[in-house]
Chains A and B, each alone.
Chain A
Amino acid sequence: MTFNSLLQFAAVLGVLLLLARPLGEYMGRVLEREAVFLDPLVKPLERGLYRLAGIEAEDRMDWKGYALAVLVFSGVGLVALLALFRTQHLLPFNPQRQPPLPWGVALNTALSFVTNTNWQAYAGESTMSHLTQMLGLTVQNFLSAAKGIAVLAALARGLRRRKATNLGSFWVDLTRITLYILLPLSMLFAVVLIALGVVQTLGPNPVATLLSPIQGVDGKPVLHQVLAVGPVASQEAIKILGTNGGGFFNSNSAHPFENPSALSSLLQVLGILLIPASLCFSFGRMVRDRRQGLALLSAMTLLFLMALGALHWAEQRGNPALRGLPVTQVLADQPGAEHPGGNLEGKESRFGITGTTLYATATTGTSCGAVNGMHDSFTPLGGLVTLLLMQLGEVVFGGVGSGLYTMLVFAILAVFMAGLMVGRTPEYLGKKIEAFETKMASLVILIPAASVLVGTALAVLLPAALASLSNPGAHGFSEALYAFSSASNNNGSAFAGLGANTPFYNSATGIAMLLGRFGTLLPVLAIAGSLASKKRTPPGPGTLPTHGPLFVVMLVAVVLLVGALTFLPALALGPIAEHLALRG
């Protein structure tokens, strides 16, 4: 690892950890409905919205009420998106005259954006009108992210409250998260992105004359190129901050109009990790024990560093099959003999291995799914790291809200094992972990894992599905495994080789995304409800502390062990077999 790589990694993580605390504290205040500095600006708007919707700010919901509100709200969002997709040709802001989306891809995309997955079976610039991008996709980018944070807030309240049923009001949470957190941050970030060169326009696509004409597929020379543009920066900001990942353009953040420079790329990585990391501090504040949030953040950071180290090592090491050939893959950074070395396939030269591996780790460790390079072209071991990061359940910082609430489920499982080992009924933050919590926590682990395994099995068994794999052998298997790992864990990135817009993939990934989002979110709310109704045992020397290094290590071990034991056979037949074959 070069000094340059280290510097980039350290800079991003350093700034991240520096910003996480103040932002986390601020978000904690917002979620606890305390006064914040934006009140004079936003409060009137917030009040107006409540009045408009007929919501009482003091509403109380038990976990079932909260869950119902999430479901109804998602349902409405789904229908609105579908309507927009199917009628975009009749609506304004469609300079390229995009036709309505076919039902299959429309439903898949609607599910994808409502579940914060942003799996894209379509190419944005050649499918969606500006209105669809702004009113449909960008709106869902905000709302699906806000839903994740709201559910986390409900869980934190469940842990904090005693003998209560009230988890807060979903409507109020949703409104406050959007108005006080996501909108201001996105506006700020969008302006920064525009300053760095990301496009933002409602006009039609400009046409450029090529300096040197090329030969078209029909044999005629091509003289002009249509440059796809649009309201990119405004969508890009929330795509990153809300760990959504659905790009305006098909090539996502590898596209120079979405991600023009190394600096914008680093800022995007920072943006992806910012809210998930900061929420650890919000959580600590909400449960009145900052050390708890810090422990969770430490576990996430540890996992992130392990993954980043492995991924960077695999890519910088290069392709083992090229060894012995007259190709140099060795890094040389002396002046005059500069050579990046490693595996540069599928990477933008303006980001290089360092910028791409950092981005890939961040985007697959969180459930973002934006990409600035092609994961399909990573070395098999590099691809394995991205696969595993998703299969672990998206907890390495994870999606906004969802990452932390899934990590808390792992913490509950770790506490369960540890509690038994010290001879006490397991407790987390003073709440006893009993049969119901264990059952729900098991579902959170089980449902996405089942979806990945069964989905992949269908994909490699059904002839209709096999046609989508562009590579034969172990790599093709990895493509299918990646698709379902991504969809089932609401990541949304893809191994680019996969032809995803087929009836099989549209329906199968649609189901996987639904299962992955609501199959975890609902059990988490059930846990919140059950924990809220319990007494709180004050900690003593006999209770296992859940903030020390021992617990952090135990938590990391549980996350890794559960992921590895579930997916090792599949990984052996995919990236591991491929890697060993390349080694020869």
Chain B
Amino acid sequence: MTHPTPSTTQPLSLFHGPILRRALVEAGRKLNPLHQLRNPVMFTVWIGSALTTLLWIQALGGHGEARPGFILAIALWLWFTLLFANFAEAMAEGRGKAQADSLRRSRQDVGAKRLKDKVPGRDWEAVGAAALRVGDLVLVEAGDTIPGDGEVVEGVASVNEAAITGESAPVIRESGGDRSAVTGGTQVLSDWIVVRITSNPGETFLDRMIAMVEGAKRQKTPNEIALDILLAALTIIFLLATATLLPYSIYSVRAAGQGSPVTITVLVALLVCLIPTTIGGLLSAIGIAGMDRMVQANVIATSGRAVEAAGDVDVLLLDKTGTITLGNREAVALLPVAGVDPDRLADAAQLASLADETPEGRSVVVLAKERYGLRERDLRTLGARFVPFSAQTRMSGVDLGGREIRKGAVDAIEAYVTGRGGHFPEALRSEVDAISRAGGTPLVVAESQGGTARALGAIQLKDIVKGGIKERFAELRQMGIKTVMITGDNPLTAAAIAAEAGVDDFLAQATPEAKLKLIREYQAGGRLVAMTGDGTNDAPALAQADVAVAMNSGTQAAKEAGNMVDLDSNPTKLIEIVRIGKQLLMTRGSLTTFSIANDVAKYFAIIPAAFVMTYPQLGILNVMGLHSPESAILSAVIFNALIIVCLIPLALRGVAYQPLGASTVLRRNLALYGLGGLLVPFLGIKLIDLILVATRLA
């Protein structure tokens, strides 16, 4: 099997050659009226195009309502309008397909070693991956491709998940715990595992991912449906406004005694110009492109609905560790009790930590070296015995002959000291409280020699808040999104870190139940809640949250409960997801406004052109000074078609987005797309008219 180069990490250029070519073919194929039925606006254009084509054929026979050349030009540009809209959709789909293809390559039917009788062991039979069903056990050894989604029930192995995540560094998958889920199509690099299959062929994570990015199963999202209804209503209004123009015109011709009633061709042209074809033609492309942007951010959403909901999120629940702070705490200071030489505390702290392989332990050694110039020593040459941390003692340390050094949590050390006839100084206790209040975690170091113990001082451990995170939270606040930090720390520590990171609120000593309860409370208050999670115990909260992003490194249960999976397993991604969701809605809204604002200019082009023969005085409404009625109508239709093409890049990329308050964003977008939409067509239609005249096409 070849290793697919994942395209998910390399964004395609907007007009990628092969996609462009395929989209052109697709655009033609989508002219099928059955395909157009899904979209009332474009279906109306289809009917109009067919009708004008028939009128052209009639005109060729010499009984036409207008010059055949004119009717043909209108008919052709109406078909082009449809083709351009189809092309936009095909472009968006093409980009998704390109991504799906690269995913599909990793789904080639691979062999599986199915364990007989579903009992762990080494007695297997060779079957195709397609034959696997839920509950089967398969053995996967070094070099094998994992045949389907499942859970490791036995063994531990390093797995290359590049096919899914694009990340080439192998990850460890082992039975039990939060790292037991494996994905079909990934490859075991070393060791072996026994996997229980959890999804049938065709329903695996990879299959769902492919379906999502292809847009094959794309369902309209709630906002899209609402917008569709509005666009359909506008189409009906304009249909009525143009259809009734025929009787109005017949009456006017009779009343004025001159001119002739408006032709069907002109009415169809007017109708197509007025109905919101710009947004109607780009609507599905915008939706597909939104999903596509998610994929490019390495997030797979299980539905478009989730992407849209991301834009509405009011509250973000963020795990402290890994999202707000770097995973590890660091020792930042040593605080000796009165009467103890700082070097002695440093010496004891270093000795107690030399064999402690936790990041905290190592940071103490680093601190002792940098601050106190203590070199690392070898415990064995000292003849020391390492006393590891245990849940009972909640201390670790070393025994050096008769000397014992211990470090640990305050209450554990206090018990140790007082139990050995020592005295735990009050000053140390207040020192320790001060550290907690400042967001740190205190460790106390004590030593005992000759049976009496005494406390030497405290080590201040501190969470390291990620750089730049405070600014991102400020951005979120401006967007109206509240951030809540979730942590297992005590409230004092949590409050200090919350203040340093600039989150709005925190939940300290969080349990899965407390998390779930918090989400429910926010939701009861009408808020939409987003969260990330990876562990099985996160699953209930993930299922409850409106936008739930599961880490790809997490358990199968977490992934099933969430409605998005972050392939990079980066909890900060939530912020990106919100941005993409908002951008999706903004693009739709802005283009709708643009589309409707365009109509004003189109009226000024077509109304005088259609009625100037009946009421010559209406010529004054031809403010653009268009050359002739025919050129005016044609220019409006051409503009209407070309604007779709011009806006494809905007539809695919999304409108520019800045994290600002709602009023500011509205003012900007109104000025840009509302006012712009009012003015641009005046210029565009005039320009097209000038070109038509210059090229003697009209």
A residues contacting B by CB (< 8 A) are 162, 413, 416-425, 430, 433-435, 437-439, 442-443, 445-446, 449-450, 453-454, 456-458, 460-461, 466, 472-474, 476-477, 535-538, 540-545, 548, 550, 554, 557, 561, 564-570, 572-573, 576-577, 580-581, 583
**Contact present for A421 and B586 (CB under 8 Å):** yes
0 or 1 for each of B279-297: is its CB under 8 Å from A? (1 = yes): 0000000000000000000
In this complex, what residue of A is CB-closest to B220? A435
Contact of B229 among A424, A438, A537, A542 (CB under 8 A): A438
B592 within 8 A of A: yes
Q: Are B240 and A425 touching (Cβ within 8 A)?
A: no
With A421-B586, A422-B662, A580-B615 as known contacts, state yes or no: A460 contacts B237, CB within 8 Å: no
12 contacts between A and B (CB under 8 A): A417-B593, A421-B665, A423-B589, A424-B311, A425-B308, A439-B233, A445-B237, A449-B237, A461-B250, A540-B314, A544-B663, A580-B617
Q: For A417, list chain B residues within 8 Å (CB).
A: 589, 592-593
Inter-chain contacts of B464 with A (CB < 8 A): none
Contact A541 B480, beta carbon cutoff 8 Å: yes
Residues of A within 8 A of B15 (CB): none
Tell me, rounded to whole Å, the shortest Cβ–Cβ distance linking B527 to chain A: 7
> Are A568 and B586 in touch, CB under 8 angstroms?
no
Nearest CB of B to A287, in Å: 15
The answer to whether B248 and A573 touch across the interface, beta carbons within 8 angstroms, is yes
Determine if A542 and B308 form an interchain contact, defined as CB atoms under 8 angstroms apart.
no
B249's partner among A538, A573, A581 (CB-CB below 8 A) is A573
- B136 interface hit (Cβ, 8 Å): no
How far does the alpha carbon of A435 sit from the alpha carbon of B232 in the complex, in Å?
12
The residues of B that contact A433 with a CB separation of less than 8 Å are 226
State in angstroms the CA–CA spacing of A457 and B267 once bound together. 15
Task: Give the number of chain B interface residues (Cβ < 8 Å).
Answer: 74
A-contact 0/1 string along B587-599, CB 8 Å cutoff: 0111011001101
Q: In whole angstroms, how far apart are the Cα atoms of A418 and B669 in the complex?
A: 9
Q: Find chain A residues with CB under 8 A from B252 CB.
A: 474, 477, 573, 577
Q: Are A418 and B526 in contact (CB under 8 A)?
A: no
Which listed residue, A420, A453, A580, touches B592 by the CB 8 Å rule? A420
B226 contacts A435, C-beta separation under 8 Å? yes
The 4 closest A-B pairs by CB, nearest first: A542-B480, A420-B589, A423-B582, A442-B233
**CB 8 Å contact bits of B228-269 with A (1 = contact, 0 = none):** 011011001110111011011111100110000000000000
Q: A420, A453, A540: which has the most chain B beta carbons within 10 Å?
A: A420
- Nearest A residue to B619 via CB reads A580
Q: Is the CB of B665 within 8 A of A422?
A: yes
Q: Which residues from B are CB-within-8-Å of A473?
A: 255-256
Q: A583 CB to closest chain B CB, in angstroms? A: 7
Q: B618 near A: Cβ within 8 Å?
A: yes
Residues of chain B with a CB closer than 8 A to A446's CB: 233, 236-237
B663 close to A548 (CB less than 8 A): yes
Measured in the bound complex, the distance between the Cα atoms of B582 and A537 in whole Å is 18
Q: Which residue of B237, B255, B482, B597 contacts A566 across the interface (Cβ within 8 Å)?
A: B237
Chain A residues with Cβ under 8 A from B227's Cβ? 420, 438
With the chains together, A535 CA to B233 CA distance in Å?
27
Given the interface pairs A424-B662, A537-B527, A548-B663, the reply to whether A565 lies near B233 with Cβ below 8 Å is no
Q: Does B673 contact A (CB under 8 A)?
A: yes
- B245 in contact with A569 (CB, 8 Å): yes
**B662–A545 CB distance below 8 A:** yes
* Cross-interface CB contact of A580 among B481, B603, B620, cutoff 8 Å: B620
Report if B320 contacts A (CB, 8 A): no
What is the number of contacts between chain A and chain B, taking CB atoms within 8 Å?
Answer: 206
**Bound Cα distance A473, B593 (Å):** 36
**Contact status of A535 and B241, CB under 8 A, knowing A442-B230, A542-B481, A545-B662:** no
> Which of B609-668 touch A at CB < 8 Å?
611, 615, 617-618, 620-621, 657, 661-663, 665-667
Distance between A558 CB and nearest chain B CB, rounded to angstroms: 9
Rounded to whole Å, the gap between the CB of A447 and the closest CB of chain B is: 10
A569 touches B222 (CB 8 A): no
Query: In the complex, are the beta carbons of A538 and B526 less than 8 A apart?
Result: yes
Q: Closest chain A residue to B225 by CB distance?
A: A435
Chain B residue with minimal CB distance to A572?
B607
The B474-488 residues at the A interface (CB cut-off 8 A) are 477-482
The answer to whether B663 touches A420, judged by C-beta atoms less than 8 angstroms apart, is no
Contact at B314–A569, with CB atoms within 8 Å?
no
Query: In the complex, are the beta carbons of B596 and A430 less than 8 A apart?
Result: no
The minimal Cβ–Cβ distance linking A565 to chain B, given in whole angstroms, is 5
Chain B residues at the A interface, C-beta cutoff of 8 Å = 222-223, 225-227, 229-230, 232-233, 236-238, 240-242, 244-245, 247-252, 255-256, 270, 274, 308, 311-312, 314, 477-482, 525-527, 581-586, 588-590, 592-593, 596-597, 599-600, 603, 607, 611, 615, 617-618, 620-621, 657, 661-663, 665-667, 669-670, 673-674
Q: How far is the CA of A450 from the CA of B250 in the complex (A)?
A: 19
Q: Decide: A542 and B479 in contact? CB cutoff 8 A.
A: yes
Chain B neighbourhood of A535, CB < 8 A = 526
Q: Please, which residue of chain B has its CB at the minimum distance from the CB of A570?
A: B248
User: How many whole Å from A63's CB to the nearest CB in chain B?
Assistant: 19
Complex Cα gap A419–B230 (Å): 14
C-alpha spacing A458/B247, complex, angstroms = 8
B657 touching A569, Cβ below 8 Å: no
Closest Cβ neighbor of B236 among chain A residues: A446
Q: Are A541 and B226 in contact (CB under 8 A)?
A: no
Distance of A423 Cα from B480 Cα, bound (Å): 12
Report the separation of the CA atoms of residues A348 and B481 in the bound assembly, to the nearest whole angstrom. 61
Q: How distant is the Cα of A493 from the Cα of B250 in the complex, in angstroms?
A: 27
Asked if B480 and A421 make an inter-chain contact with CB atoms under 8 angstroms apart, the answer reads no
- Are B527 and A422 in contact (CB-based, < 8 A)? no
B314: nearest residue on chain A (CB-CB)? A540
Instruction: Tell me which of B222, B603, B662 contacts A544 (CB under 8 A).
Output: B662
What separation, in Å, do the CA atoms of A62 and B657 have in the docked complex? 42
* Residues in chain A near residue B482, CB distance under 8 A: 540
Query: Chain A nearest CB: distance from B601 CB in Å?
Result: 12
Query: Which of A413, A477, A564 sits near B248, CB closer than 8 Å?
Result: A477
Given contacts A421-B589, A453-B240, A580-B618, 10 further A-B contacts (CB under 8 A): A420-B223, A420-B592, A423-B311, A425-B312, A435-B222, A442-B229, A542-B314, A543-B662, A572-B607, A580-B617
Find the B residue at minimum CB distance from A427: B312
On whether A457 and B586 interact (CB within 8 A), knowing A421-B673, A422-B662, A581-B617, the answer reads no
In whole angstroms, how far apart are the Cα atoms of A456 and B247 in the complex? 9
Kindly provide the distance from the CB of A266 to the nearest chain B CB, expressed in whole angstroms: 37
Q: Could you tell me the distance in whole angstroms from the C-beta of A110 to the nearest C-beta in chain B?
A: 28
Complex Cα gap A568–B242 (Å): 10
> Considering residues A435, A438, A542, A561, which has the most beta carbons from chain B within 10 angstroms of its beta carbon?
A542
CA distance A537 to B528 in the complex (A): 9
Q: Given the known A-B contacts A425-B585, A540-B480, are A461 and B247 also in contact in the complex, defined by CB atoms under 8 Å?
A: yes
- Shortest C-beta distance, A159 to chain B (Å), equals 14
Q: What residues of chain A lie closer than 8 Å to B665, measured between beta carbons?
A: 421-423
- Contacts known (A421-B589, A460-B248, A537-B526); A572 close to B621, Cβ less than 8 A: yes
Do A434 and B618 have beta carbons less than 8 Å apart?
A: no
Least CB distance, B588 to chain A, in whole angstroms: 5
Name the distance in Å between A289's Cβ and chain B's nearest Cβ. Answer: 15
| Known contacts A423-B585, A542-B314; is-contact A430 B526 (Cβ 8 Å) | yes
How far, in whole Å, are A505 and B589 apart by their CA atoms in the complex? Answer: 42
Q: Is B673 a contact of A577 with CB atoms below 8 Å?
A: no
Distance in Å from the Cβ of A553 to the closest Cβ of chain B?
9
Residues from chain B with a CB closer than 8 A to the CB of A577 are: 252, 611, 615, 617-618
Q: Does B593 lie within 8 Å of A421, measured CB to CB?
A: yes
User: How far, in angstroms, from A581 to B621 measured CA to CA in the complex?
Assistant: 13
Please determine whether B480 and A543 come into contact, CB atoms closer than 8 angstroms: yes
- Contacts A424-B311, A460-B248, A569-B241: A561 and B596 contacting too (C-beta < 8 A)? yes
Please tell me if the beta carbons of A423 and B670 are within 8 angstroms of each other in the complex: no
Q: Is the CB of A474 within 8 A of B255?
A: yes
B291 CB to nearest chain A CB (Å)? 16
CA distance A456 to B252 in the complex (A): 13
Distance of A417 Cα from B231 Cα, bound (Å): 11
A299 to chain B, nearest CB (A): 16
